[in-house]
Amino acid sequence: MLDNFFSNKKVKLGLLILWVVIIYQILITALVEVEKISPQSTLSDYKNAYWYSIVTLTTVGYGDLFPLTTHGRIIGGVFVLLSMVFYATVIGGVSSIIVNIKENKKLGYEGTSFSNHIVMIGWNDFGNLVADQLFGVGKKMGIVTDNKTTVDFIKDKYQTKDLFVLFNDYKNIDFYKKINIELSSMVFINQNSDTDKLVTALNLKKHYPNLRLSVALDNSELKETFIAAGVEQIILQHEISSKLLASYIFEPDVADYAESIMSFAKSDDDFDIKQFKVVAENPYLHKTYEEAFFNLKMKYNGVLIGISKNKETGGRELIKNPAFDLKIELGDYLIIILNGKAHQHLSKVFNTEEGLIQ
């Protein structure tokens, strides 16, 4: 117990200050006693001795007070040496504080005010591709990495105010508060192994039960396990890549089209798929799919290909190529193929941004 007590940083600092005060008082007392020998000395009383020590330690050195005896001058020399140590310690301490502040800021320890953002836990080549797409559509993103060397790389690559990077041990669940994980719209678990992803998912759900979790799995047999762990979105990487590869072999034009609309539209000539939540201001609220389909095509050159509806039992049902008489209701999501220019117009008309909104 004593070992733990003396290893405490605050205790060490307190003991150091105590020793400094004791040594300082010993030197002052010694200076006064030896200077009493000289009748002409002005340092034979404590008031002047304290003043002399202060101006010496601070290197001001007015010269109004100085020791006359040999022993007094030796003690005065000690004060001069201590003044150099004092300033070296102060400058070193201030420099260390500044370095620590900069380092803490770089590593994300000061936290962020982001909300409704995407949090990605883990950084690798796949995460790099995901981040490219998300930043391409203007999303805010917080990235958690357990590798310090990747922090500067991520920041240098994207250089955007919509990015926050946190260096953290993935098992340190409480530290995720720094990235405002509770206010995120989605948490994408992107560690290198499915086992690590499952452990992280279970820990996050235990501490933050309302989080929406998404993972990309290598092993499709673990899908049900992750669903039971509370993961809402599961992406089977090999399944997607195999379907796309098969399409390239037998239907290359279809594959090209599918690949192009899965990424964000870089120009007005590019098209991609967007989803918009139907809010009260949406002009297609209470309209039929047929009315919305033709109006979107004529006014914005957009193609309404599906509607996602909330189910009474929870979750959502995606309706592909709906019947013409299907009514659009509050809280539905409209799935639309459109270009960059149309996207800007519809965001204003729909009074909402694309993507999932809580």
Residue 48 token pair = 């002047």
Looking at the structure, do residues 293 and 220 belong to the same domain, yes or no? no
Q: What is the DSSP string of 264-284?
A: PP-STT-EEEEEEE--TT-TT
**Same domain flag for 153 and 217:** yes
Examine residue 94 and state whether it is found in any structural domain, yes or no. Answer: yes
- Mean pLDDT across the stretch 13-23? 78
Q: Return the half-sphere exposure (C-beta side, CA atoms, 13 A cut-off) of residue 105.
A: 6
The whole-number pLDDT of residue 161 equals 93
Query: Are 172 and 206 in the same domain?
Result: yes
Is residue 100 situated within a structural domain? yes
Is the same domain home to 142 and 227?
A: yes
Both 33 and 63 in one domain: the answer is yes
Render pLDDT for 119-152 as a digit per residue (tens, 0 to 9): 999 999 889 988 988 888 788 999 999 999 999 9
Residue position matching structure tokens 């909402």: 352
Q: Is the pLDDT of residue 258 over 80?
A: no
CATH number of the domain bearing residue 184: 3.40.50.720
Is 249 within a domain?
A: no
* Residue 204 sits in the same domain as residue 269: no
Q: Which of 11-20, 63-72, 187-196 has the lowest mean pLDDT?
A: 11-20
> Domain boundary residue among 73, 106, 139?
106
pLDDT computed for residue 78 by the predictor = 83
Asked, for residue 254, whether it belongs to a domain, the answer is no
Same-domain pairing of 340 and 297: yes
CATH number assigned to the domain comprising residue 320: 3.30.70.1450
Is 253 inside any structural domain?
A: no
- On whether both 166 and 138 belong to a single domain, the answer is yes
pLDDT tens figures, 167-219: 999 999 989 999 999 999 999 999 999 999 999 999 999 999 999 999 989 88
| Domain end residue (candidates: 219, 236, 253) | 236
| Residue 333's pLDDT band (cuts 50, 70, 90) | very high
Q: What is the pLDDT of residue 21?
A: 81
Whether residue 10 sits in one domain with residue 90: yes
Q: What is the structure's pLDDT at 347?
A: 86
Single pTM value for the model: 0.64
Joined tokens for residue 239? 């399944």
More confident: 356 or 334: 334
Domain presence at residue 111: no
Task: Please tell me the least confidently modeled range out of 73-87, 140-154, 222-236.
Answer: 73-87
Residue-number span of the structural domain to which 172 is assigned? 118-236
User: Is the model's pLDDT at 2 over the cut of 50?
Assistant: no
Same domain, 225 and 278: no
**Do 126 and 232 lie in a common domain?**
yes
Q: Which residues contact 156 (CB under 8 A, 6 or more apart)?
A: none
Q: Output the CA–CA distances (angstroms, integers) from residue 333 to 79, 284, 305, 315, 324, in the order listed.
A: 76, 11, 11, 12, 16
Residue 154 lies in a domain: yes
225: tokens are 């396990």
**CATH number assigned to the domain comprising residue 68:** 1.10.287.70
**Averaged confidence pLDDT in the chain:** 85
Highest mean pLDDT among 69-78, 79-88, 116-125, 234-243: 116-125
Amino acid at 135: F
Domain endpoint, select from 56, 73, 106:
106
Condensed to tens digits (0 to 9), the pLDDT of residues 261-311 reads 776 666 667 788 889 999 999 999 999 999 999 999 999 888 999 999 988
Q: How far apart are CA 163 and CA 114, in angstroms?
A: 9
Q: Is residue 42 part of a domain?
A: yes
The domain total for the chain is 3
Q: Are residues 232 and 123 in the same domain?
A: yes
pLDDT score of 195: 93
- CA separation (Å) from 114 to 21, 64, 117, 347? 47, 59, 6, 21
